[in-house]
């Protein structure tokens, strides 16, 4: 028995920016292909020029490269199934459409959008399911001829045999049967003669020999119509997996209003590509022995034989932050420095004058506090700008007696700031002698140096800041406490 090689595809429309939903679709297709030694195809569905905001799909390809989801066939990697832009496949679509025409499985529909909307409202008012009532299938040849002579706009519809059902295999649900009496005769073309998504998508999947169609659950009703097309054109049906829809914390489908919907927004917010693919692979994907995994590990450990059939997967921003933090912690110093520099220099242009060794030192000292790259400028801002502290700010953390002790201890030891080890040793001894908790003194010093009582250790701060900066900031603290 010959087993067909596995072929999957990611088929986005270049109508806007990549969002988490289609990133997850691309990712799972990629992982499936790699695990099964199959082929991952990129096909651009650009047949609607009015909505084509990404000519040549440059942004989509850049985003896939950034995520390291390398496709095997597609634009600039053409194979025997080219072309991979749907707009260049019109002749192919026309040939398949003509086959349906020869079989008398299509008919012209002259109904206007207003006609259809009116019928829809009437059906809903009568508590009937809204679907096309086949008005135009009843037209005589003379009536059709008359309308054509008047150049009445029309589309082509597919005839559905409403007395039958059709079954597809879904990796999560098993056999899924659609009773065709519940489906309308669906459009194959638009009024301008271009082919609809449902038709072109099915034809391209069939002719590109796609064996497994992994796409969102919102395409489930499309699947019934496309299965009808497969059968009519005598193509073998692929296996399907209708992926759970990503939803927000309220259980609603993720939308532009939700943080992180757009991949561009997540990149700008400082999320790492490794963290995004890691997070999107593990949510709704069962249990894993460990959660932080590279692409190679995900390929190995994701279990496509135990797929969750739930219709929704909750998008947890806190979990994404946690995964991102873990990945930042895994980055080596050079890699972290390279990706952090643009974020730092955007807020602090003077950082361009700081050499790599100094900036790397700072990053390594604060690395454990970083959740996203966007956090870095805020965390290390104290290096570039002196913190604004006042008596009021100090009083929020220390009582009057503590303030007096802090002032005396720092004042008596400030001359040792050029020798940080000696300064810290003397501070410890002074705190012990005056019976004041060392934590109080160190918190006050940290507040003066960084503007916060929390953050890097005192020793780390003396490594990060030059002695002239520490002197000026601690003298300011003493002056405020006078």
Relative to beta strand 39-42, strand 7-10 is parallel
Note the Cα 74 to chain centre separation in Å: 21
In angstroms, the Cα distances linking 425 to 405, 459, 478 are 17, 11, 19
* Same domain for 364 and 228: no
- As a residue count, the chain comes to 482
Q: Is 370 part of a structural domain of the chain?
A: yes
Q: Cα–Cα distance between 327 and 472 in angstroms, integer?
A: 37
Which pLDDT score is estimated for 1? 46
The predicted pLDDT at position 274 comes to 98
Residues 342 and 371 in one domain: yes
- Closest C-alpha among 119, 208, 202 to residue 168: 202
- Same-domain pairing of 55 and 200: yes
362 within 8 A of 462, measured Cβ to Cβ: no
Domain boundary among 382, 411, 441: 382
| Residue at 144 is within a domain | no
Write down which residue in 179, 213, 247 finishes a domain. 247
The alpha helices in 44-189, defined as continuous H runs, are 58-66, 90-102, 113-125, 141-149
DSSP string, 186-250: -BSB-TTSPBPHHHHHHHHHHHTT--EEEEEGGGHHHHHHHHHHHHHTTPPPPEEEEEPEEE-TT
Peptide bond into 83 cis (omega under 30): yes
Q: What is the pLDDT of residue 50?
A: 65
For residue 451, give the CATH number of its domain. Answer: 1.10.10.350
Q: What is the pLDDT of residue 131?
A: 85
Asked if residue 47 belongs to a domain, the reply is yes
Determine the pLDDT at residue 284. 74
CATH of the domain at 238: 3.40.50.620
| pTM (2 d.p.) | 0.90
Is the domain of 378 the same as that of 391? no
pLDDT of res. 4: 85
69 plus 17 within the same structural domain? yes
Contact 329, 367 (CB under 8 A): yes
Cβ atoms 81, 209 nearer than 8 A: yes
Could you give the 3-state DSSP secondary structure of residue 127? coil
Do 474 and 435 lie in a common domain? yes
Alpha helices in 54-89 (DSSP H): 58-66
| Same domain as 354, residue 225 | no
Return per-residue pLDDT of the chain as tens, 482 residues: 457 899 999 999 887 788 899 999 999 999 999 999 999 999 999 877 666 677 788 899 999 999 999 999 999 998 899 999 999 999 999 999 999 999 999 999 999 888 888 888 887 888 778 889 899 999 999 999 999 999 999 999 999 999 999 999 999 889 999 999 999 999 999 999 999 999 999 999 999 999 999 998 888 889 999 999 999 999 999 999 999 888 888 878 888 888 878 999 999 999 999 999 999 999 876 678 899 999 999 999 998 887 766 667 888 999 999 999 999 999 999 999 999 999 999 999 999 999 999 999 999 999 999 999 999 999 999 999 999 999 999 999 999 999 999 999 999 999 989 999 999 999 999 999 989 999 999 999 999 999 999 999 999 999 999 999 999 999 999 999 87
Q: Which pLDDT score is estimated for 285?
A: 66
Domain range for 352: 333-382
pLDDT for 3:
75
Residues 360 and 419 in one domain: no
Structural domain contains residue 236: yes
Nearest alpha carbon to residue 446 among 429, 428, 458: 458
Report if residue 102 sits inside a domain.
no
What pLDDT score does 49 carry?
65
Quote the pLDDT of residue 346: 96
Q: Are residues 398 and 475 in the same domain?
A: yes
What's the pLDDT at 395?
94
Residue 206 lies in a domain: yes
Residue 133 burial (CB < 10 Å; 0-12/13-18/19+)? middle
Q: Which residues pair with 167 in a beta bridge?
A: 177
Say if 393 falls within a structural domain: yes
Bridge partners of 77, per DSSP, are 74
Task: Let me know if residue 405 belongs to a domain.
Answer: yes
Strand partners, 246: 313
**How high is the pLDDT of residue 258?**
83
Pair (59, 21) in one structural domain: yes
Same domain, 457 and 421: yes
Report the pLDDT value the prediction gives residue 276, as an integer from 0 to 100: 97
Same domain, 224 and 372: no
**Separation of alpha carbons 66 and 339, rounded Å:** 13
Domain boundary (204, 226, 247) is at 247
**DSSP line for 396-415:** TT--HHHHHHHHHHHHHHGG
Q: How many domains does the chain have?
A: 3
Give 180: exposed, middle or buried? Use CB within 10 Å, 0-12, 13-18, 19+: middle
């Amino acid at each position: 028995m010959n087993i067909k090689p596995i072929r999957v595809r990611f088929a986005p429309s270049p109508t806007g920016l990549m969002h988490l939903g289609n990133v997850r679709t691309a990712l799972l297709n990629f992982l499936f292909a790699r695990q099964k030694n199959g082929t991952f195809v990129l096909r651009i569905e650009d047949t609607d020029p009015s909505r084509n905001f990404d000519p040549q799909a440059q942004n989509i390809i850049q985003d896939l490269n950034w995520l390291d989801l390398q496709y095997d066939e597609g634009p600039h990697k053409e194979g025997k199934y080219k072309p991979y832009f749907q707009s260049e496949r019109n002749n192919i679509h026309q040939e398949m459409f003509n086959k349906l025409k020869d079989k008398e499985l299509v008919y012209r529909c002259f109904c206007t959008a207003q006609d259809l909307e009116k019928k829809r409202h009437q059906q809903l008012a009568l508590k009937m399911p809204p679907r096309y009532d086949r008005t135009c299938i009843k037209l005589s040849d003379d009536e059709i001829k008359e309308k054509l002579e008047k150049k009445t706009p029309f589309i082509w519809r597919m005839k559905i045999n409403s007395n039958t059902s059709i079954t597809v295999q879904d990796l999560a649900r098993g056999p899924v049967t659609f009773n065709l009496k519940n489906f309308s005769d669906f459009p194959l073309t638009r009024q301008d003669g271009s082919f609809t998504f449902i038709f072109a998508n099915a034809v391209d999947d069939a002719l590109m020999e796609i064996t497994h169609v992994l796409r969102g659950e919102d395409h489930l009703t499309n699947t019934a119509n496309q299965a009808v097309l497969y059968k009519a054109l005598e193509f073998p049906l692929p296996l399907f997996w209708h992926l759970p829809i990503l939803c927000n914390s309220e259980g609603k489908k993720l939308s532009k209003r939700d943080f992180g919907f757009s991949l561009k927004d997540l990149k700008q917010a400082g999320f790492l590509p490794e963290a995004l693919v890691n997070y999107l692979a593990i949510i709704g994907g069962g249990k894993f022995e460990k959660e932080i995994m590279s692409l190679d590990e995900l390929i190995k450990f994701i279990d496509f034989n135990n797929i969750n059939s739930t219709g929704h997967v909750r998008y947890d921003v806190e979990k994404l932050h946690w995964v991102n933090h873990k990945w930042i912690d895994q980055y080596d110093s050079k890699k972290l420095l390279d990706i952090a520099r643009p974020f730092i220099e955007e807020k602090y242009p003077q950082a361009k004058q700081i050499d790599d060794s100094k900036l790397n030192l700072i990053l390594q000292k604060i690395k454990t506090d970083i959740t996203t790259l966007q956090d870095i400028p805020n965390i290390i801002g104290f290096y570039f700008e002196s913190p604004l502290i006042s008596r009021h700010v100090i009083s929020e953390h220390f009582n009057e007696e503590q303030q007096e002790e802090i002032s005396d201890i720092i004042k008596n030891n400030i001359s040792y700031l050029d020798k940080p080890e000696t300064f810290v040793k003397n501070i410890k001894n002074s705190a012990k002698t005056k019976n004041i908790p060392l934590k109080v003194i160190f918190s006050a010093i940290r507040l003066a140096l960084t503007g916060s009582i929390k953050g890097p250790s005192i020793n780390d701060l003396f490594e990060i800041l030059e002695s002239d900066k520490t002197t000026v900031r601690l003298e300011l603290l003493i002056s405020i406490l006078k």
